[in-house]
């Protein structure tokens, strides 16, 4: 009887340990230095930017309310979903540049071949940006993901939110499941598609110097425990057609070439338009 109880205890501890979240600092609470001195993303423990030139943001109550504070900050108003802090990234940038920001985390252990994992993260649209976008996805890689530009990183996400998230008052869960190839150790969140493949909805105009879409991120999760997703899978398939550039016209409506130092209007396949001024 004692041996049986011992075996059951060992099995329980083993399962409980293996079912833990593999994403360290999942709710962005832990820091390696003070986050109270302006731009504070480098203060975060376990999280980095895969791009050497882009700058995801870290929001913490000790920062100035008008900059990177919680709940008031330079991009909107939002309480953390868990704890007191969260991260934020650009998912769309208006114009020719497919500017993006990403956050990257090294998992506590490599994934095991053939094992089913459940992943989840929560997003909320920043109030003060002019657009909402889709294509907020998650990528898993065996090696660190790096980039020397601030352009989109063309990786194949294991899950991607194809619908445009408009909600800026609440947190929206994005989640799904994944069968591991084995050896995956790095997790990256962001938009892995360029502007021509990203659907956007303009929600306001001229409210920010950053003309694009921006989302807060909290509670990132990866585990063998299916309770993380609760059946709310956010990657069933495209709910909107892929937006493609079909024509460029000048301000008089005449079709023209895509040229620098000119005011242009981009016309897309979904009927949306975009006013652009290209600098040489």
Q: Can you give the pLDDT at residue 10?
A: 38
Number of folded domains that form the chain: 2
- pLDDT at residue number 157: 94
Q: Say yes or no: 48 and 170 in one domain.
A: yes
State whether 232 and 257 are in the same domain.
no
What is the share, in percent, of the chain residues with pLDDT greater than 90?
61
Query: Same domain, yes or no, for 152 and 191?
Result: yes
In this prediction the pTM is 0.78
Q: Are residues 38 and 93 in the same domain?
A: yes
In a domain, 153, yes or no: yes
Assess contact for 206 and 130: CB atoms under 8 A.
yes
Residue-by-residue DSSP string for 139-201: EEESS---BSSSB------SEEE-S----SSS-EEEEEEEE--S---EEEEE--S-GGG--EE
CATH of the domain at 59: 2.60.120.260
Could you tell me which residues come within 8 angstroms of residue 50 by beta carbon, excluding any fewer than 6 positions away? 102, 104, 144, 145, 146, 147, 153, 188
- The residue-averaged pLDDT of 208-224 equals 89
5-19, 154-168, 197-211, 225-239: segment of lowest average pLDDT: 5-19
pLDDT of residue 273: 67
Residues 55, 160 within the same domain: yes
Is the pLDDT confidence value at 9 over 70?
no
pLDDT at 244: 61
Tell me the average pLDDT across 255-265. Answer: 76
Section 252-266 average pLDDT: 76
pLDDT averaged over the chain? 84
Instruction: Tell me the per-residue pLDDT of 68-127, one tens digit each, with 9 for 90 and over.
Output: 999 999 999 999 999 999 999 999 998 768 899 999 999 999 999 999 999 999 999 999
pLDDT > 50? residue 216: yes
Residues 256-277 have a mean pLDDT of 69
pLDDT at 205: 72
Task: Calculate mean pLDDT across residues 38-55.
Answer: 92
78 and 204 in a common domain:
yes
Dmax of the chain from CA atoms?
87
Would you say residue 12 lies in a domain?
no
The pLDDT of residue 6 is 42
- Same domain? For 165 and 32 the reply is yes
Which residues span the domain enclosing 213?
A: 19-241
The pLDDT score that the predictor gives to residue 277 is 58
**Mean pLDDT value of segment 256-273:** 70
- Does one domain contain both 70 and 91? yes
């Amino acid at each position: 009887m004692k041996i049986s109880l011992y075996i059951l205890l060992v099995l329980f501890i083993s399962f409980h340990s293996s079912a833990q979240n593999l994403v360290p600092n999942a709710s962005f609470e832990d820091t390696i230095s003070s986050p109270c001195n302006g731009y504070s993303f480098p203060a975060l423990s376990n999280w980095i930017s895969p791009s050497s030139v882009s700058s995801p943001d870290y929001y913490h109550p000790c920062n100035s309310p008008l900059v990177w504070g919680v709940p008031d900050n330079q991009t909107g108003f939002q309480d953390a979903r868990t704890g007191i802090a969260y991260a934020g990234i650009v998912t769309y940038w208006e114009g020719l540049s497919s500017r993006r920001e990403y956050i990257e985390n090294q998992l506590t252990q490599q994934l095991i071949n053939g094992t089913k994992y459940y992943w989840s993260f929560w997003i909320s649209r920043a109030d003060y940006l002019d657009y909402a976008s889709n294509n907020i996805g998650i990528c898993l890689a065996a090696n660190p993901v790096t980039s020397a530009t601030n352009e989109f990183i063309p990786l194949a996400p294991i899950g991607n939110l194809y619908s445009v998230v408009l909600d800026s008052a609440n947190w929206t869960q994005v989640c799904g499941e994944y069968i591991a190839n084995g050896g995956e150790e790095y997790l990256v969140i962001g938009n892995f598609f360029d502007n021509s493949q990203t659907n956007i909805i303009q929600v306001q105009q001229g409210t920010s110097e950053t003309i694009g879409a921006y989302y807060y991120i909290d509670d990132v999760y990866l585990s063998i425990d299916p309770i993380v997703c609760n059946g709310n899978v956010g990657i069933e398939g495209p709910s909107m057609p892929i937006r493609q550039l079909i024509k460029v016209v000048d301000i008089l409506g005449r079709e023209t070439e895509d040229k620098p130092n000119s005011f242009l209007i981009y016309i897309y396949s979904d009927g949306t338009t975009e006013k652009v001024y290209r600098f040489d």
